[in-house]
């Protein structure tokens, strides 16, 4: 629930948060490094993809790099077209940005106001919530259900109460790795209150194997009040290249577009277009390989009688049986960097799924800390 009082208090902290936003991911990682930690650290803290940048993208970027003294503005229409086409959308239905972070930021700015709250679940990916707070917009957080899934009815109830708002949902959710099922998504779209927009963050949708989970992109194609964000940072393994996009009805895209900061780099743009020439095999091969490592880890945790939330993305939440802050701090000196704490899930440790070898090291270190 938001009140005028905490809205004003939130706005007080806002200016500092605005300055911090771009550094958030970097600062978190650098803070671990600064403690003088092992060179062969296994990084399982940021849901990156150890499969790396696809070969075809690397070759294309290598080729364009020497010509990056030019802006190449004339090429961007083609790059945006290729990205739109890869999801059966028109260029008018897509806004490309620096990762999905940039479109997310612009969407929160465009679709919330002092009278139109940002409504989501807790815990969820903090970026958009932090943006809303930094902009001084009211934030409404709803509790996850006992099975750690989003309660779509509660989200609608809150939007209704506020006479409209922006509902933000990650599917799968970060950090819980849980999903919103297709029938719940359909209910949510069909029951959006007046003056309400649904923002579905599908950063991890490619990793889902469950048959009853679907993307919200068909609702975008149908012209609903739905915006979907996607990123090349996760399954495509291109996090440092910073490319993502928002997909929505052209009138919604036009509302967001003026807030975008810049075009992406030509190197990143060419890399993504090259990766899209092998879209199907990149996505299916990486999904299969990740799912295998994820299954192995879950089986091991079951054998060890360690509780966890059934994962659908490239990370999972493990119940470490005590406050996770201390647990998290003890792992990096032993060579494994897990995710940050995610209150209110205070006993949960978020772990990104790495390679088979990385997860072998994770299992060793985890057991040492768990038993020690
Ligand atoms: C759910 C979710 N959305 C968006 C992002 C932003 O990533 P990027 O800007 O690299 O697309 C992240 C980053 O980890 C995330 O977890």
The atom number, within ligand 1, closest to the CA of 233 reads: 10
Three-class secondary structure assignment of the chain: CCCHHHHHHHHHHHHHHHHHHHHHHHHHHHHHHCCCCCCCCEECCCCCCCCCCCHHHHHHHHHHHHHCCCCCHHHHHHHHHHHHHCCCCCHHHEEEECCCHHHHHHHHHHHCECCECEEEEECCCHHHHHHHHHCCCCEEEEECCCCCCCCHHHHHHHHHHCCCEEEEEECCCCCCCCCCCHHHHHHHHHCCCCCEEEEEECCCHHHCCCCCCCCCHHHHHCCCCEEEEEECCCCCCCHHHCCEEEECCHHHHHHHHHHCCCCCCHHHHHHHHHHHCCHHHHHHHHHHHHHHHHHHHHHHHHHCCCCECCCCCCEEEEECCCCHHHHHHHCHHHCEECCCCCCCCCCEEEEECCCHHHHHHHHHHHHHHHHC
> Is 125 near ligand 1, meaning CB less than 6 Å away?
yes
Convert the pLDDT of each residue in 327-354 to its tens digit.
999 999 999 999 999 999 999 999 999 9
Predicted confidence (pLDDT) per residue in 280-330, tens digit: 999 999 999 999 999 999 999 999 999 999 999 999 999 999 999 999 999
Kindly state if the Cβ of 180 falls inside 6 Å of ligand 1: no
Is 268's C-beta closer than 6 angstroms to any atom of ligand 1? Answer: no
Could you tell me what percent of the chain has a pLDDT over 90? 88
Ligand 1 within 6 A of CB of 170 = yes
- What's the confidence (pLDDT) of residue 372? 83
For the stretch 50-101, pLDDT in tens is 999 999 999 999 999 999 999 999 999 999 999 999 999 999 999 999 999 9
What is the pLDDT, as a whole number, of residue 38?
A: 82
Ligand 1 and 308: CB distance under 6 A: no
pLDDT for residue 36: 72
Q: Which of 122, 180, 231, 316 to mutate to test the pocket of ligand 1 (most atoms within 8 A of CB)?
A: 231
142-178 pLDDT tens trace? 999 999 999 999 999 999 999 999 999 999 999 999 9
The pLDDT tens digits of the residues spanning 222-232 come to 999 999 999 99
pTM: 0.92
């Amino acid at each position: 629930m938001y009140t005028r009082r905490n809205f004003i208090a939130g706005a007080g902290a806002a200016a500092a948060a605005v300055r911090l936003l771009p550094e958030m991911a970097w600062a978190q990682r650098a803070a671990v490094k600064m403690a003088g930690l092992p060179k062969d650290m296994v990084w399982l803290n940021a849901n990156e993809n150890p499969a790396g940048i696809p070969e075809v993208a690397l070759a294309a970027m290598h080729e364009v790099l020497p010509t990056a003294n030019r802006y190449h503005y004339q090429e961007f229409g083609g790059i945006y077209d290729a990205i739109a086409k890869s999801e059966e959308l028109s260029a008018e239905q897509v806004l490309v940005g620096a990762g999905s972070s940039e479109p997310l930021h612009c969407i929160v700015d465009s679709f919330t106001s002092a009278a139109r709250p940002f409504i989501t679940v807790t815990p969820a990916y903090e970026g958009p919530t932090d943006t809303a707070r930094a902009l001084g917009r009211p934030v409404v957080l709803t509790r996850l259900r006992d099975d750690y899934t989003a309660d779509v009815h509660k989200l609608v109830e809150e939007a209704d109460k506020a006479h409209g708002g922006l509902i933000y949902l990650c599917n799968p959710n970060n950090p819980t790795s849980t999903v919103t099922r297709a029938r719940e998504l359909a209910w949510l779209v069909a029951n959006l209150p007046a003056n309400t927009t649904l923002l579905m963050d599908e950063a991890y949708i490619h990793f889902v194997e469950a048959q009853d989970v679907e993307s919200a992109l068909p609702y975008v194609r149908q012209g609903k009040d739905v915006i979907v964000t996607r990123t090349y940072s996760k399954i495509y393994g291109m996090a440092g290249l910073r490319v993502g996009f928002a997909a929505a009805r052209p009138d919604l895209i036009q509302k967001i577009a003026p807030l975008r900061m810049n075009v992406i780099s030509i190197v990143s743009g060419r890399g993504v277009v090259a990766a899209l020439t092998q879209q199907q095999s990149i996505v299916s091969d990486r999904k299969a390989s990740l799912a295998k490592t994820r299954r192995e880890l879950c089986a091991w945790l079951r054998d060890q009688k360690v509780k966890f939330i059934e994962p659908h993305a490239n990370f999972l939440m493990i119940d470490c049986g005590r406050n996770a802050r201390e647990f998290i701090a003890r792992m990096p000196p032993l060579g494994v960097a897990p995710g940050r704490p995610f209150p209110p899930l205070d006993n949960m440790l978020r772990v990104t799924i790495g390679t088979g070898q990385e997860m072998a090291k994770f299992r060793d270190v985890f057991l040492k800390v768990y038993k020690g």
